[in-house]
Structure 1
Amino acid sequence: MRLTVFGTGYLGATHAACMAELGHEVVGVDVDPGKVAKLSDGVTPFYEPGLEEVLRRNLDAGRLRFTTSYPEAADHADVHFLGVGTPQKKGEYAADLKYVHAVIDSLAPLIERPSVIIGKSTVPVGTAAELGARARAAATAEVEVAWNPEFLREGFAVQDTLRPDRLVLGLDSARERADWVAGLVREIYAELLEAQVPFLQTDLATAELVKVSANAFLATKISFINAVSEVCEATGADVTILADALGYDARIGRRFLNAGLGFGGGCLPKDIRAFMARAGELGADHAVAFLREVDNINMRRRTKVVDMAAKACGGSLLGANVAVLGAAFKPESDDVRDSPALNVAGMIQLHGAVVSVYDPKALENSRRVFPTLNYATSVADACDRADVVLVLTEWKEFTALRPEDLNPVVRSRSIIDGRNCLERARWREAGWVYAGLGTP
């Protein structure tokens, strides 16, 4: 099939490349000529394992191309995926839909034959219905709007697109062409459906709520174990063993029960805040009031690590040399949006420390956010004459570290494990002062 994908950020570029991998003829559309030029040359503007190979393979095969031209995109296909960003509004919790609206307002007047716009972006509930009315008012032909939320995990985006754990499609069942839309989507994902990927067809509102509800649940699970870790710190209990014990309960499971610095990135923080904002607009803010405490717990872990660093340096960070290993919000990503690691590095610098940051992939993005931090080219460079070392992103390069790797370069043998990802017994036996979150 012929498809377009509007937006070539993390979501859009991944979806475009993977739809081409499924055999479709895809045009990716973006208003940024720089992004379009990079992608056309087979270069992704962000780090995602495996994506560049898929991108280049399909560019070479002629199934994928990129453009800034909306008329070209409208002429190419009758099925248009919407994958632009929905960031948090400045000074508010609500999602900013200006990019979503811009696509609809630019595309709809160009549609001259029956078409469908399929949303992938995470939006507040009620957005799809509003966009449908908006598109139909501007188009000269019939336009349907459906919603097919994404469930991408950074570091696993290609896998999550080509073999997702479920497909969700939201339709306006009151529309005469709803069955036509469902048939198109089933055709697009035919290979996935043949592979027995579950397919759930819902109304528009349910589809919109699935992604944000999933993120809210995961955020709650992470903040739950971090709240428990605070109790562990007060009692001398070990949160890692406690989490293992909880994980054996089939009703709970072990995943996302890793106590530590907390969650970040471009999805969970802004999505739960947008969920709270939209619930408030609907008069149901009491129903998700607990998410405010989820957010508070998450942010509190960052200040906790700053306090731990100050304690490790004798009570004050003024003039201390602090090594921060990790800047991305998670491993296998260069994403530093709302990154706990980079946030902690910035706060420590504001307390007067000299901070050296190293990350295998996220240094360039980090410099844009915090240009005043020092950025190292290796672990050894970052830890040179360090008074304390902080491990804040669980890259394999860091979890594999041994005390003897750092003994020759640090000034003080003190390490803070912000992700509880190191073997603390090994570090203590080697004479290091080890501190973790929620561990004795």
Structure 2
Amino acid sequence: MKITMVGSGYVGLVTGACFAEFGFEVINVDVDQAKIKALNQAQIPIYEPGLESLVQQGLNKGRLTFTTNLSQAVQNSQVVMIAVGTPSRQGDGHADLTYVFQAAEQIAASLTPYTVVVTKSTVPVGTSRQVAEIIEKTRPDLKRGVDFDVVSNPEFLREGSAINDFMRPDRVVVGTDSEKARQVLSRLYRPLYLIETPIVFTNIETAELIKYAANGFLAMKIAFINQLSDLCEKVGADVQELAKGIGLDGRIGRKFLNVGPGYGGSCFPKDTLALSKTGHDQKTPLTLVDAIIKSNNDRKDVMAVRILQALSKRGPVEGAQVAILGITFKPNTDDLRDAPSLVIVPALLKAGVKVRVYDPLYYLGSERLGGIDKDWPSVTWAQGPYEAMDQADGVVILTEWNEFRALDIDKIKTSLKTPDPALPLLIDFRNIYKPAEMKGMEYHSLGRGVGTVCG
């Protein structure tokens, strides 16, 4: 089976490489000539563990190719997947479907019967049917259900573990009203039958909504535990023990109950916003989703205030120096979209704090982080965690990269500038460490009853 992926961004690249690993012939298409040239040399523009070797393997076996020629790629393909970006539209927060609809027109021009067109991009309810209408309008000679079908097949890839998520998914969701398309998608995902992956077939609208509903629910779990962490601090409870206590309930589950400075990334912020907009458009307000969005946005602002409050108790905030460890929204990714750091660092700079940052990806090349160093010209970039801390007034852990999980506490104490009678200041927004381990430190964490340990 020949598969064309339209779009070679995060979803398109991972999906294409994984299908090639399953033995299919895959052509990935993108309009960016420089990107395609690099990809044909196995040079990956994003950071995703294991992806570079998987792409190299696909290229070596001749099952994976990259091109800018969409027309040639689409011809004679049995499956064409649309995997282009759907960012939040400026001004109103709706998903911007410009690239999806452009891809639909371009695909239609070269479509040969019979082809299944798959919306892999995260799109609002009704988009797949609009794609079908665009194809029919562009190619009146093609009849839906006879010459082509449009199917919704949302992705559920987590950044940092996307390959495993594709190879061993919890489920595959396919939305279609066509038995012919159902048979094609069944063959496409047949390799997953060997590990008994559930294939959930629904109508198109349900499949489109499943993706948004899943991300909305997970975002709700994060916002919920973050709010409870604030309550834990007031009443003397421990949020991590609380999370364990409720997470062991099979109806709730343990995942996504880790306290932190707020969610970010390419999915949760834009998908919760798009879901909210859909609800309002349909005169069915999703007030829970609206509350999640507000809670998460407020959370990032509060984290910046907490840092400034801790500094203010030690002396003037203006001119104080802070080390920030990790700026990506989560470990094992170079994604900065809606990361808490994009709110926290500017707030510190605005208050006159001098900021020194260390992120493990920065020295793989600043382009890995989208050239953020150009957006923050006054920020100093360190080559390691202790260099970032050197003579700083405090250190803040924003991202739980593995190398921050076993920092030398004694080295932290000697690296930081600590005027007597103050203690070395560590603010841990990921609760990596235990308060009992922080003797001789002023240690701040989230939701542990007592936010500061001195001793």
Q: Is TM > 0.5 for Structure 1 vs Structure 2?
A: yes
Contact 1:74-1:111 at 8 Å conserved across structures? yes
Equivalent-residue separation in structure 1 for 2:402 and 2:125 (angstroms) = 38
Letter in 1 for 2:174: L
Q: Which residue pairs with 1:374 in the alignment?
A: 380
Q: Which residue pairs with 2:51 in the alignment?
A: 51
Letter in 2 for 1:347: A
Deviation (angstroms), 1:367: 5.7
1:132-188 alpha-carbon deviations (Å, 9 max, x no partner): 1111221243221101110001111011111111011000x2xxxx11211111111
Q: Which residue pairs with 2:264 in the alignment?
A: 264
Q: Which residue pairs with 1:152 in the alignment?
A: 157
Equivalent-residue separation in structure 1 for 2:135 and 2:317 (angstroms) = 55
Q: 1:116 is paired with a residue of what secondary structure?
A: strand
Deviation (angstroms), 1:250: 2.1
Q: Which residue pairs with 1:403 in the alignment?
A: 409
Q: Which residue pairs with 2:303 in the alignment?
A: 305
Equivalent-residue separation in structure 1 for 2:186 and 2:411 (angstroms) = 53
Q: 2:89 is paired with a residue of what secondary structure?
A: coil
Equivalent-residue separation in structure 2 for 1:51 and 1:127 (angstroms) = 29
Q: Which residue pairs with 1:61 in the alignment?
A: 61
Contact 1:135-1:143 at 8 Å conserved across structures? no
Deviation (angstroms), 1:301: 2.0
Deviation (angstroms), 1:63: 0.4
Q: Aligned pair 1:387/2:383, yes or no?
A: no
Q: Which residue pairs with 2:421 in the alignment?
A: none
Q: Which residue pairs with 2:8 in the alignment?
A: 8
Contact 2:319-2:354 at 8 Å conserved across structures? yes
Q: 1:263 is paired with a residue of what secondary structure?
A: coil
Decide which of 422, 445, 450 is 1:436's aligned counterpart.
445
TM-score by length of 1: 0.95
Contact 1:386-1:410 at 8 Å conserved across structures? yes
Letter in 1 for 2:444: A
Equivalent-residue separation in structure 1 for 2:415 and 2:224 (angstroms) = 37
Q: Aligned pair 1:364/2:367, yes or no?
A: yes
Q: Aligned pair 1:167/2:172, yes or no?
A: yes
What do you get for the CA RMSD once the two structures are aligned?
Answer: 1.4
Q: 1:313 is paired with a residue of what secondary structure?
A: helix
Q: 2:91 is paired with a residue of what secondary structure?
A: coil
Equivalent-residue separation in structure 2 for 1:214 and 1:248 (angstroms) = 20
Equivalent-residue separation in structure 1 for 2:370 and 2:62 (angstroms) = 36
Equivalent-residue separation in structure 2 for 1:377 and 1:240 (angstroms) = 32
1:24-61 alpha-carbon deviations (Å, 9 max, x no partner): 01000001112111211101101000111110001000
Equivalent-residue separation in structure 1 for 2:334 and 2:370 (angstroms) = 12
Letter in 1 for 2:408: R
Structure 1 unaligned segments of length 5 or more: list them: none
Aligned in 2, Cα 1:367/1:83: closer, same or farther, shift over 3 Å? closer
Q: Which residue pairs with 1:422 in the alignment?
A: 433
Equivalent-residue separation in structure 2 for 1:240 and 1:69 (angstroms) = 52
Q: Which residue pairs with 1:187 in the alignment?
A: 187
Contact 2:395-2:427 at 8 Å conserved across structures? yes
Q: 1:130 is paired with a residue of what secondary structure?
A: helix
1:386-438 alpha-carbon deviations (Å, 9 max, x no partner): 111000101110111131232232113101111112222212x1x11000122
Structure 2 unaligned segments of length 5 or more: list them: 419-423, 451-455
Equivalent-residue separation in structure 1 for 2:367 and 2:442 (angstroms) = 31
Contact 2:71-2:106 at 8 Å conserved across structures? no
Q: Which residue pairs with 1:294 in the alignment?
A: 292
Letter in 1 for 2:401: W
Deviation (angstroms), 1:299: 1.8
Stretch deviating more after TM superposition (201-210 or 86-95) = 86-95
Equivalent-residue separation in structure 1 for 2:369 and 2:347 (angstroms) = 14
Equivalent-residue separation in structure 1 for 2:368 and 2:388 (angstroms) = 17
For residues 15-414 of structure 1, what are the structure 2 equivalents within 5 Å?
15-139=15-139, 140-141=141-142, 142-171=147-176, 173=177, 178-285=178-285, 288-315=286-313, 317-361=317-361, 363-366=366-369, 368-369=371-372, 370-372=375-377, 373-412=379-418, 413-414=424-425
Q: 1:27 is paired with a residue of what secondary structure?
A: strand
Stretch deviating more after TM superposition (145-154 or 72-81) = 72-81
Aligned in 2, Cα 1:60/1:365: closer, same or farther, shift over 3 Å? closer
Deviation (angstroms), 1:351: 1.5
Identity value in percent: 39
Equivalent-residue separation in structure 2 for 1:96 and 1:223 (angstroms) = 25
Deviation (angstroms), 1:76: 4.7
Contact 1:309-1:388 at 8 Å conserved across structures? no
1:319-354 alpha-carbon deviations (Å, 9 max, x no partner): 110111011100111111111134312221122111
- How many pairs were matched up? 431
Q: 1:411 is paired with a residue of what secondary structure?
A: coil
TM-score by length of 2: 0.92
Equivalent-residue separation in structure 2 for 1:368 and 1:343 (angstroms) = 17
Q: 1:234 is paired with a residue of what secondary structure?
A: helix
Contact 1:312-1:388 at 8 Å conserved across structures? no
Letter in 2 for 1:433: E
1:371-398 alpha-carbon deviations (Å, 9 max, x no partner): 3232222112211211110001011101
Contact 1:14-1:158 at 8 Å conserved across structures? yes
Equivalent-residue separation in structure 1 for 2:287 and 2:342 (angstroms) = 28
Stretch deviating more after TM superposition (350-359 or 339-348) = 339-348
